[in-house]
Amino acid sequence: MIRLLFVLAGLLAAVPALAASDPSDVLGIAYVQKPGAPLPADAILSDETGQPVRLGELAHGVPTLLALVYYRCPNLCGVVLGDLLSGLQGASLVAGRDYRLVAISIDPAEGPDVAAQAKAQHLAEFPAAGATPDWHFLTGNAAPVERAVGYQAKYDAALKQFIHPAGIVVATPDGHVSRYLLGVGYAPGDLKLAVTEASDGTIAALARPILLTCWHYDPARGRYSLALWNLVRIAGALTVLTIGVTLFLAFRRDRRAP
């Protein structure tokens, strides 16, 4: 019994160190999913040439792939767009015929010149049929769109960065949220299915939540850190507690055995 108590004490002593974290840095940073919610068709934004556009005028009878990012993001936004465009290439989806891409900057300081640079860069890296007229890189007041799709982000003045969730929204041709694709790494098959179902007006079930924000990604190391490591610590703590309970029950069973 004494040996068991020492084992349990050692295991439980590790729990605070494993679980110690401050989750306040990512509280409220997520997509609050709203399947079926209408996009704000009357929202006025600026395209990459500086011309005002109404969001509702961009669909033209095909699904919309909506990416809320910012173009000068030092971390994950480029990965989100790059994975999306790579997946679209693999799925053989044609812009204008099968979908329209709408990227909207969440940074009010970014203007059409920044959007134009971002579009040119992605066109060069991911050439695709129909992309020039049907990939829209927009700037302006993104707040109505953010509210409509449940996008929650905040600006960290110390880091001088936006902390925001990673993912894209797929909308039906009439401008309603069909589904969410959260995180990164959008498989061509998943994109094709999402676009096909959105074309039919399908409203999918909630996507599995993924706690992955732009702030987690370390581009220098190509990996995720901080809050993601906190999840690992919490998982480790739960594992330790599970082992402790298992040992305790096993000891009681052995004591009761004849």
Do 74 and 162 lie in a common domain?
A: yes
Task: Please give the Cα distance from 158 to 142 (Å, whole number).
Answer: 23
The whole-angstrom distance between residue 135's C-alpha and the CA centroid of its chain comes to 20
Domain-located, residue 217:
no
Listed range (6-20, 65-79, 189-203, 228-242) with the worst mean pLDDT: 6-20
CATH number of the structural domain spanning residue 195? 3.40.30.10
pLDDT at residue 158, as a whole number:
86
162 pLDDT more than 60: yes
User: Token digits for 243?
Assistant: 């082992």
Specify the DSSP class assigned to residue 76: S
What number of other Cβ atoms are within 10 A of residue 211's Cβ? 16
Question: How confident is residue 75, by pLDDT bands cut at 50, 70 and 90?
Answer: confident
* Residue of higher predicted confidence among 122 and 210: 122
Do 107 and 233 lie in a common domain?
A: no
pLDDT at residue 68, as a whole number:
97
Quote the strand ranges of the chain, DSSP E.
Answer: 30-31, 44-46, 52-54, 64-69, 100-105, 135-138, 151-152, 154-156, 161-163, 167-171, 177-182, 217-218, 223-224
- Contact in structure between 165 and 151 (CB atoms under 8 Å): yes
What average pLDDT does the structure give for the chain?
81
Residue 19 domain boundaries: 2-23+223-256
What number of other Cβ atoms are within 10 A of residue 148's Cβ? 22
Do 131 and 194 lie in a common domain?
A: yes
Q: Tens digits of per-residue pLDDT, 195-211?
A: 999 999 999 988 876 55
- Contact in structure between 226 and 206 (CB atoms under 8 Å): no
Domain-located, residue 197:
yes
- Does residue 143 sit in helix, strand or coil? helix
112 pLDDT more than 90: yes
Question: What's this model's pTM, rounded to 2 decimal places?
Answer: 0.74
25 pLDDT more than 90: no
Specify the DSSP class assigned to residue 162: E
Listed range (36-40, 147-151, 226-230) with the worst mean pLDDT: 226-230
20 pLDDT more than 60: no
Q: Which residue is it, tokens 């108590």?
A: 5
250 pLDDT more than 90: no
pLDDT at residue 175, as a whole number:
96
pLDDT at residue 2, as a whole number:
47
Q: How many angstroms separate the Cα of 30 from the Cα of each of 43, 68, 188?
A: 22, 12, 24
- Does residue 126 sit in helix, strand or coil? coil
According to DSSP, the residues that pair with 104 across neighbouring strands are 68, 138
Average pLDDT over residues 189-193: 96
Listed range (58-67, 152-161, 165-174, 218-227) with the worst mean pLDDT: 218-227
Q: How many angstroms separate the Cα of 100 from the Cα of each of 36, 78, 128?
A: 19, 18, 12
Q: Name the domain count of the chain.
A: 2
pLDDT at residue 199, as a whole number:
96
Do 80 and 54 lie in a common domain?
A: yes
Listed range (34-43, 45-54, 160-169) with the worst mean pLDDT: 160-169
* Residue of higher predicted confidence among 14 and 189: 189
